[in-house]
Amino acid sequence: MPDDSVLERLLRLRQHQHEGRRSPHKPLLALLALGKLVNEGTSALPWSEAESRLAAVIGEFGPATLTAPAQSAAYPFTRLRSDGVWTLDVDVPMDRVGPLREQPVTGRFAPDVEAQLQRSPGLAFEAARMLVASHFPESLWPDVLGAVGLETEQVLGAPDLVTRGEEVRRRSAAWRTELIEAWDRQCAFCGYDGQIAGAPVGLDAAHVRWFAFDGPDELDNGLALCVLHHKLFDRGVLGLDGDHRVLVSGVFTARTGVGKAVYELAGRQLDPRPGTAVPRPEHVDWHRAEVFKGEPLAV
């Protein structure tokens, strides 16, 4: 099987997104299996291990849900078989946790997929890069890769194959600079404005609707955020309401004064300079539905 076939089959997991809805469950399972393969030489993942590990990464990096953790893990563990890249050593029903617990069940990549990944050095890293870049913003790549047991440097050093099999979407080279300038070179949430020799440092251009989910490189789909608040925004700790006030997730907790400073952002009104475009309602709504965790703190 050529390398292209393995990568294209994994890339097709993107098709399970529907109308902008995030569904990273199968890609996260594939990434866990790639981590096992790289570190242990086999992608074999027993349900006894997957139930906790897969549920944890889905809970951490997936959209907010009321589904029980074990049930969230059972969906991709049983359903990835239909994509032709995954097998189970026991034929159990789709989606049901009980049969997975009643007898030892192990999932792994389909034999042809695993054989090709084992024969082609670097292919597993290319596949991991493709998956993480297709489903998450760049700020979260190291977090996701670390959670599934992959080294960031090895994966991100692989050739860029993210657009293989898809129409190429190119990022705007000017968007980051234009966005940060539009927000007066300061964090839209806290006002941080550090510079080195006149150049902003520790300040990012953050998409509201993620680029990987058709978010445009437009000024009305972005915020200038300090590195900390960018990470919290992409992790669903911070968000916006329809009036462009900052939301803080009720699932976020902190013990120190520095951490508790995040609570103080709740209800803060964005205050851009005149003429700066604020995020469009449809992008704010997407972030609230797909990224923000749980209910916001009351203010």
Write the CA distances from 213 to 108, 109, 112, 135, 231, integer angstroms. Answer: 28, 26, 30, 8, 18
Q: What does the alpha-carbon distance between residue 125 and residue 183 come to, in Å, rounded to a whole number?
A: 37
Using pLDDT thresholds of 50, 70 and 90, give the confidence band for residue 164. very low
Do 147 and 181 fall into the same domain?
no
Do 29 and 146 fall into the same domain?
yes
The mean pLDDT value for 155-182 works out to 72
Alpha-helical segments (H) within 191-237:
227-234
Write the CA distances from 100 to 31, 44, 59, 182, 234, integer angstroms. Answer: 21, 15, 20, 53, 33
Side-chain-side CA neighbours of 195 within 13 Å: the count stands at 10
Tell me if 54 sits within 8 A of 76, measured CB to CB.
yes
Write the CA distances from 273 to 15, 25, 188, 190, 276, integer angstroms. Answer: 40, 40, 10, 15, 6
Do 220 and 98 fall into the same domain?
no
Q: Could you say which of 129, 156, 183 is where a domain stops?
A: 156
Tell me, yes or no, whether 161 lies in a domain: no
Using pLDDT thresholds of 50, 70 and 90, give the confidence band for residue 56. very high
Does pTM top 0.85 for this prediction?
yes
Q: What does the alpha-carbon distance between residue 277 and residue 71 come to, in Å, rounded to a whole number?
A: 41
For residue 166, pLDDT beyond 90: no
Do 51 and 121 fall into the same domain?
yes
Do 151 and 198 fall into the same domain?
no
Do 190 and 144 fall into the same domain?
no
For residue 8, pLDDT beyond 90: no
Domain containing 190 equals 175-290
For the chain, what percent of residues have pLDDT higher than 90? 80
The mean pLDDT value for 271-275 works out to 94
Tell me, yes or no, whether 267 lies in a domain: yes
Do 179 and 133 fall into the same domain?
no
SS3 88: strand
The mean pLDDT value for 214-232 works out to 96
Q: Which residues of 158-187 are buried (b: 16+ CB within 10 A; e: fewer)?
A: beebbeeeeeeeeeeeebbeebbebbebbb
